[in-house]
Structure 1
Amino acid sequence: MSEMDGQSCVSSMMVWTPMTKIRENRKKYKRKYRLRKDMETVEYTAGIKTCRACTKRPPEEQNFEITNIAEVFLSKLTLLRSRVDRESITGATKTFSIYYKDQTPALDLECSKEDVAKAWVAGIQHLMRARRTETIIDKRKRWISEYFHKGKNADDRLESKEAKKVLAQMNIQIKESQIDMVIQKLDKDQTGALNLDEFTQFYNDVTAREEIEELFDKYAVDGENMKVHELMQFHAKEQKVAIDAKGCGKLIEKFEPDSELKKKNILSLEGFTLYLQSAESDVFNHTHDEVYQDMTQPLSHYFIASSHNTYLLEDQIRGPSSKEGYVRALLKGCRFLELDCWDGDDGEPVIYHGYTLTSKVLFRDVIEAIGRYAFKASPYPVFLSLENHCSVVQQRALAAHMVNILGDSLCNIPATSDMQKLPSPQQLRGKIIVKNKKLKRNVAEDDVSDEDEAAETEDVEVQERVKTCKEKKKTIKLAKELSDLVNICEAVHFYSFQHSREKDMPYNISSIKEGKADSLVKDQAADFIDHTKRQLVKIYPSGAKVDSSNMDPYLYWAAGCQIVALNYQTPCDQMDLNLGLFRQNGRCGYVLKPEALRDAQTRLDTSNNIPEKYKKTLKIKVISGFQLPTPKGEGSGGSAVDPYVKVQVYGVPADCAEDGTDVVKNNGFHPVWNCDMSFPLTFPDLALVRFEVKEHDTMSDSETIGQFSLPVSSMQQGYRHVHLLSKDQEDLSPAALFIHVSLQ
């Protein structure tokens, strides 16, 4: 594909373009797509008409946001989803695919011409790049413009009623009479309505925040602007950060919107507010957006982002199986994928949740997707955990597909009897590791135990088959071709820590069920930690979780367990914590364990009696909230919300704690709490903090408005903003909490 001018492509996207949507069930749908003038949203219509009244869906559902796109690319026929009738698609370069950040199904679109598909891909990629590089000033301008254009009239203006509706959508509640007064004040050309510049000024006026103004006045001696030396004082005293005059000048250059003040090298209240709302002043330390940890230690020294039943998009009984599950997990930095493999038709193995009504997806299609997406989010190794229920013939097909599709990316480091430690993530960059049983040397084909696979499938039928086989353990025949792909991740049954010390090698990995793991963590935490210094351990959920709910991962991380397999398709508190832990270290899916959980000379029992030398106290003051969204289904406008904040700490058992603010009635736009909290930490290196904003409801469970999780080790001290995410991990900007953090 030749280089295309991104902005020209964006312009061409603003014209209605006929395309064909291709679904997994082989059906095709004629659509017309275009980019709205706000350059944020792509809208579509059904059929050949552009009249919204002719479509089945309500208008607000007939669009998708550019910010929700994870990747867009020209499709190859072999990469389209498995149920598409590949023979009916003419010309692969006329087709492009969009994968989303959230649970939205992937979109395959066929254009009339190759150049049209290329222009759309180039245009979307141009917009995505622009979003990644924009400043907070640009972002705010874009955000205000987006809402303005959604509500403006035919004259490109907002009258009083329109302005009130737009402000409510922005979670700003204000009386219409007040809006009329503002319009009279700002409406310079006396049209009775606001243009974009006037509306922007209106927004700036109503979103002024007293708590930030008080902080500004504390350091801006003249009460008007903050000079460089005053900004240095603010950082040293409040933010616990050393920054010199040159660094402060760069901040003023970046965040001061007034060009005249920028020339004088001073910061206004507006610039100071923008700075505090920016990534630089986020509670999360954004230097941790890059890989900053030592990646040369053995694999057993890292926590590894791990998924369970990766192929499922919903529940474990009737939900669909799809390669999209693997794409979504990989794009979130997941490095450990599960593939439940069963015999399929025509000699082609399939992946699905055996003995259930979940749909099936071809193993080959999943491997193709993994081949494409394995290293998009992270260069470090990916594990393929094969739960093998296939016949020998189809096991050979499994092996052939992996060899043919993954090729040189398959890990080929031999597992030798003199191996003292596992290789490092750095050594295994770009490699895919197969986890499975392995035949003994010089054996062409043999029986291996089916006990672990039966337990991990969570299928009652398979488990009962194993339990009722009294004469001998159930076994399956393992093909040499599949066995040969297994090297540094050979699955073995876990009997005891003593057995593992005497018999196991570093390349052996055991899978332990949630219930059994709970007992081991409680009674033998120190032994568990010593075990995981040398070997990998996978913890998988009990079979009772048919709704794909998740176990509490921090319980097992505290015992050094590297692989805690969670359902990535399930938004929940546990997934928030999982993504919070792996938010650090460049989201690469590998987090170096605390030294005490790696050092062979240290004997630590995290269940109790942790030495005093590790202890610290985390103090958090929840000051205020800003433009909190209204939970779905409750109408629009932030004032309808009765918010409170829950702060939870997770880690070793002694550190797990929770505190909360009072409820602020009828104010989601700018609630103020000023609530002090204190959390003694016995082992802060392993502690996570989860902020959750909830809507108070006396009649039922309080609904989550927004949340954010991060490790204590990635928290910045001082006055910080917590930029909230939805339960589905969507960015809720500008919704945020304003807090103060200290770690003593």
Structure 2
Amino acid sequence: MESDLGSKRDGLKDNEDLRFLLDGAKLTKIRSKSWHKSRYFNLMEDCRTIMCSSKKLGKKGNTFLIEDIESVRKGRQTEGLKKHTDPDEEEKCFSIMFKGSKKNLDFMVNSKEEAHRWVTSLEKLMNHAQNLSKKQEREHWFISCMRKADKNKDNKMTLKELKHFLRQVNIEVDDTYVEEIFKKCDTSNSGTLEDLEIEEFYSLLTKREEIDVIYAKYAKTEGEMSARDLLDFLLNEQREQATIESALKLIEKHELDEAAKQKKCMTKDGFVMYLNQEDGCIFNPAHSPVYQDMSQPLNHYFISSSHNTYLMEDQLKGPSSTEAYVKALMKSCRCVELDCWDGPNGEPIIYHGYTLTSKILFKDVIRAIKDYAFKVNEMLILPLGE
């Protein structure tokens, strides 16, 4: 589903890494010792979707979104690659780890240089996605969800698909209103929306009347906000300790119209841009680092904890995995559970006792905890053994 929201690439330049991903390449996808399949992976023109294609899949292929990737790991770091590849292939392997329960993808390529290129290029694209403005994030989220709702993948949205999509993302809108803006946007009278029509539907659906009201309240200088008007807004509505100098800096930073900027004024578009950036966020930036008193006894705090940390799925017959510990730790979990049992050859194992869950080695879990315990959180880690 292509719209101008996607095709502008949001500031991405056609650098070598981007071109590398757009061109794509064949990667060896690995699932087991005997399942090593060649698949073609490339970045689509929207610069946020990766497509996997093969002769079996044909032109359609499978896709996943850049924003769904949690991390890209170089080398044989996953259980699958450790089991199903040889140690001397370490530098030719890499893995794509996904958020949530989606299974990771393990790959092997022809050289360590190619593996490094895939890892660094994907990481740069992920970093770019993470640095988008709040407005861009919402647009990306909206278009991504719309693409998923396009059931027949024809890059067009019917009224039925749009209504289903709105229910899926918990947007409660009256059906009559949806039909009204659908007809308004369907300029081709085709009964479907595509490209710019979808962008217009998004704009109408997300129109913020309360922003119009607050802007009109403070825009007292020929229909625009002067620096003094903006200062009044910052003092009265935002409760900030602002000055006329800080108001001028916000105009210089966020105003899109050069003529308004020359007049030291902020248009409504500039005001919306400001509200969607970190400067207009309700969150107090002073609270980004830990600011609470951390000198109290341990039992004075709530601790982010994980139960049956080793389980990837259900607790009766689901798989156990060190990857479950990695995911928990990367979400800042500080207390993880280790259900330890005697294993063969004197090696302790971890699994959900007296069930059909798979077993993993205690030493592999400890190694995973050692590697990932403090990557995103410096607070102490509490391994709870049973």
TM-score w.r.t. the length of structure 2 is 0.78
Tell whether 2:323 aligns with 1:324.
yes
Cα distance change on mapping 1:371 and 1:24 into 2, 3 Å: farther
Aligned residues of 1:6 and 1:122 also touching (Cα < 8 A): no
Question: How many Å separate the matches in 1 of 2:296 and 2:34?
Answer: 48
Q: State the Cα distance separating 1:199 from its structure 2 match.
A: 6.8
Question: 2:27 is matched by which residue type in structure 1?
Answer: M
After TM superposition, give the deviation of residue 316 of structure 1 in Å. 2.0
Q: 1:178 is aligned with what amino acid?
A: K
Compute the displacement of 1:245 (Å).
2.1
Query: What is aligned with 1:74?
Result: 74
Who is 2:302 aligned against? 303
Taking the TM superposition and a 5 Å limit, the aligned residue runs for 1:39-50 are: 39-46=47-54, 48=55
1:99 partner SS: strand
8 Å CA contact 1:106–1:324 kept in 2: the answer is no
CA separation in 1, counterparts of 2:233 and 2:331?
Answer: 36
1:20 corresponds, among 20, 28, 34, to 28
Deviations 1:153-192 (A, max 9, x none): xxxxx9xx669799768749455542245x79xxxxxxxx
> For residues 228-627 of structure 1, what are the structure 2 equivalents within 5 Å?
228-387=227-386
- Superposition deviation, residue 118 in structure 1: 0.9
> How far apart, CA to CA, are the structure 2 residues paired with 1:73 and 1:220?
50
| Structure (1/2) with the larger helix percentage | 2
The letter of the residue matching 2:377 is: S
- Contact 1:311-1:323 at 8 Å conserved across structures: yes
Q: 2: distance between equivalents of 1:254 and 1:168? A: 38
Q: Which amino acid aligns with 2:19?
A: S
Structure 1 residues 373 and 293, CA gap change in structure 2 (3 angstroms): same
CA–CA separation in structure 1 for the residues paired with 2:348 and 2:238: 57
In 2, Cα distance between equivalents of 1:355 and 1:143:
43
Cα offset for 1:235?
2.4
Identity of aligned residues (%): 37
Counterparts of 2:115 and 2:252, CA distance in 1 = 40
For the residues of structure 1 that align with 2:372 and 2:65, how far apart are their CA atoms? 22
Preserved CA contact (<8 Å) 2:30 2:81: no
- Work out whether residues 20 and 109 of structure 1, in 8 Å CA contact, stay in contact via their aligned partners in 2: yes
Distance 1:329 1:90, change over 3 A: same
1:252, 1:266 within 8 Å by CA — same for their partners in 2? yes
- 18-27 or 6-15, larger mean C-alpha shift: 18-27
Change (3 A) 1:363 1:166: same
**In 2, Cα distance between the equivalents of 1:317 and 1:199?**
45
Q: Which residue of 1 aligns with 2:46?
A: 38
Match status 1:102 vs 2:109: no
Q: CA RMSD in A?
A: 3.6
Q: Separation in 2 of the partners of 1:112 and 1:246?
A: 57
Q: Which residue number in structure 1 is paired with residue 111 of structure 2?
A: 113
Contact 1:316 1:358 in 2 (8 A): yes
Counterpart contact for 2:185–2:200, Cα < 8 Å: no
Whole-Å separation in 1 of the counterparts to 2:120 and 2:332: 25
SS of structure 1 residue aligned to 2:339: strand
Residue in 1 that maps onto 2:10: none
Q: Which SS does the other structure have where 1:381 is aligned?
A: coil
How far apart, CA to CA, are the structure 1 residues paired with 2:138 and 2:222?
Answer: 25
Q: Which runs of 5+ in 1 are unaligned?
A: 54-58, 153-157, 185-192, 388-744
Residues 305 and 335, structure 2, Cα contact 8 Å, conserved in 1: yes
Asked if 1:178 is matched to 2:184, the reply is: yes
CA contact (8 A) 2:149 2:162 kept: no
Task: Check conservation: 2:28, 2:38, Cα contact below 8 A.
Answer: yes
Distance in 2, Cα, partners of 1:233 & 1:322: 56
Q: Which ranges in structure 2 are unaligned for 5 or more consecutive residues?
A: 1-12, 167-172
Give the residue type in structure 2 aligned to 1:231.
L
Letter in 2 for 1:41: T
Which is higher, the Rg of structure 1 or of structure 2? 1
Q: Which residue of 2 aligns with 1:125?
A: 123
Change in Cα spacing, 1:144 to 1:70, as seen in structure 2 (3 Å) is closer
Cα distance per residue 1:48-70 (max 9 Å; x no partner):
566146xxxxx5xx222211222
1:619-656, CA deviations, whole angstroms, 9 ceiling, x for partnerless residues? Answer: xxxxxxxxxxxxxxxxxxxxxxxxxxxxxxxxxxxxxx
CA contact (8 A) 2:149 2:161 kept: yes
Q: Could you tell me how far apart the structure 1 residues matched to 2:165 and 2:123 are?
A: 27
Distance in 2 of aligned mates of 1:302 and 1:26: 49
For 1:287 and 1:131, the matched residues in 2 are separated by 24
Secondary structure (helix, strand or coil) at the match of 1:304 reads coil
* Aligned mate of 2:19, from 11, 27, 38: 11
Tell me: CA distance 1:27–1:103, structure 2 relative to 1, closer, same or farther (3 Å): same
TM-score scaled by structure 1?
A: 0.43
CA distance in 1, matches of 2:228, 2:248: 10
Contact 2:133 2:276 (C-alpha < 8 Å) held by counterparts: no
> What's the CA shift string for 1:525-551, capped at 9, x where partnerless?
xxxxxxxxxxxxxxxxxxxxxxxxxxx
Shift in Å at residue 149 of structure 1? 9.2
Change (3 A) 1:292 1:262: farther
What is the CA–CA distance in structure 2 between the aligned matches of 1:318 and 1:194, rounded to whole Å?
45
User: Do the aligned residues in 2 keep the contact of 1:99 with 1:105 (CA within 8 Å)?
Assistant: yes
Separation in 1 of the partners of 2:103 and 2:194? 39
CA distance in 1, matches of 2:341, 2:268: 63
Quote how far apart the aligned CAs of 1:7 are.
Answer: 3.8
What is the rounded CA distance, in whole Å, between the counterparts of 1:141 and 1:254 in structure 2?
21
Look up the SS of the partner of 2:225 in the other structure: coil
Cα distance, 1:12 vs. partner?
Answer: 0.9
Amino acid corresponding to residue 15 of structure 1 in structure 2:
D
- What secondary structure is seen at the aligned counterpart in 2 of 1:261? helix
Cα distance, 1:369–1:250 mapped onto 2, change above 3 Å = farther
Give the match's secondary structure for 1:239: coil
Give the aligned length. Answer: 356
- 2:51 is the counterpart of 1:51: no
2:208 aligns with 209
Show CA shifts across 1:449-502 (max 9, x none): xxxxxxxxxxxxxxxxxxxxxxxxxxxxxxxxxxxxxxxxxxxxxxxxxxxxxx
Which structure dedicates a bigger proportion of its chain to strand? 1
Alpha carbons of 1:339 and 1:90: their partners in 2 closer, same or farther (altered >3 Å)? same
Structure 2: distance between partners of 1:289 and 1:32 = 41
* Distance of aligned partners of 1:85 and 1:227 in 2 relative to their CA distance in 1, 3 Å threshold: same
Counterpart code for 1:69: I
Report the AA paired with residue 23 of structure 1: R
Distance in 2, Cα, partners of 1:113 & 1:361: 31
Instruction: Report if the CA contact (8 A) 1:321-1:358 is conserved.
Output: yes
Is the 2:17–2:121 contact (alpha carbons within 8 Å) kept by the matching residues of 1?
A: yes
CA distance in 2 between counterparts of 1:332 and 1:143 reads: 21
Offset, 1:247: 2.3
Judged with a 3 Å threshold, the aligned counterparts in structure 2 of structure 1 residues 6 and 24 are, in CA distance, closer, same or farther, namely farther
Q: Residue 6 of structure 1 contacts residue 123 of structure 1 at CA under 8 Å; is this kept in 2?
A: no
CA distance in 1, matches of 2:46, 2:165: 16
Alignment-derived partner of residue 64 in structure 1: 64
Q: Is the 8 A contact 1:312 1:320 kept in 2?
A: yes
Q: CA deviation at 1:382?
A: 1.2
Cα–Cα, structure 1 residues 299 and 233, in superposed 2: closer, same or farther, change >3 Å?
same
Change in 2 beyond 3 A, CA 1:340/1:140: closer
Q: Deviations over 1:708-738 (max 9, x none)?
A: xxxxxxxxxxxxxxxxxxxxxxxxxxxxxxx
Instruction: Give the letter for the 1:108 counterpart.
Output: D
Offset at residue 121 of structure 1 (A): 0.5
